[in-house]
Amino acid sequence: MSNPKPHIIIEGAVQYSLGTMQGNQILYDFDKMLVYLDAKGKLLFGKKFKIYKEDRDILYKLCLYFIQDRIACKEFGIDIDKGILLSGPVGCGKTSLIRLFKYLVPHRKPYEVIPTRNIVFGFNHLGYKIIEDYGNGQFFCFDDLGVEPMGRHYGKDCNVMGEILLSRYDLFLERKIKTHATTNLNAAELEERYGNRVRSRMRQLFNLVAFDRGSKDKRK
């Protein structure tokens, strides 16, 4: 059953309006979305969570992407049909944000956030079935791409995430199924980690949304 009021989200006894309905369209209000994200972040991650002023530009782009505002996204060079690769230094809040944003659009199909190292541990234990499992039609966000160890199963090494990204690329071409990811690495480091072929596929799979390299570590 579709939600007649997808612009209103209820958390416990509190109701958050993200904008107004006009016909069958939602006119979203960025500041109202930030209020909701801050409240939901505290519910998910604890009282210390906060939305930082210096992250407004990134948050604005992510909001536009997740509400699928095609025209505004185009101005920022964001293709709403691709996934998001959220990059930035350690501790800048990438994982929290990517976990949080799926709650902003509860009327859309959610994605599952999976740490890449867990996927590799699964491969070491179960082998190539793991690559097939993540090459299926589900929506995933691969957290911490590029820092996972090399996979090894029965003495054979495998760049597990590289293989999965190739499978996800095929899914994207055939069925427009999106993939999201977070990473601490820059483009050159990703290419070194996965090779030129995977890197070129990643350009077609992802919109790069990057925190400033100087972003502070919010965990300190």
The residue type found at 159 is: N
Structure confidence at residue 137 as a pLDDT band (50, 70, 90): confident
pLDDT at 77 over 90: yes
Sign (positive/negative) of CA torsion 62, 67, 72, 75?
positive
What global pTM score does this model have? 0.93
Structure confidence at residue 216 as a pLDDT band (50, 70, 90): confident
Q: Which residues pair with 86 in a beta bridge?
A: 182, 209
Q: At what angle do helices 30-45 and 94-101 cross, to 10 degrees?
A: 110
Mean pLDDT estimate for the chain: 93
87-108, pLDDT tens digit by residue? 999 889 999 999 999 999 988 8
Cβ burial 117-152 (10 Å sphere, 16+ → b, else e): eebbbbbbeeeeebbeebbeeeebbbbbbbbbeebe
Domains in the chain: ranges and CATH: 57-210 (3.40.50.300)
As a whole number, mean pLDDT of residues 198-219 equals 89
Decide if 104 contacts 66 (C-beta within 8 A).
yes
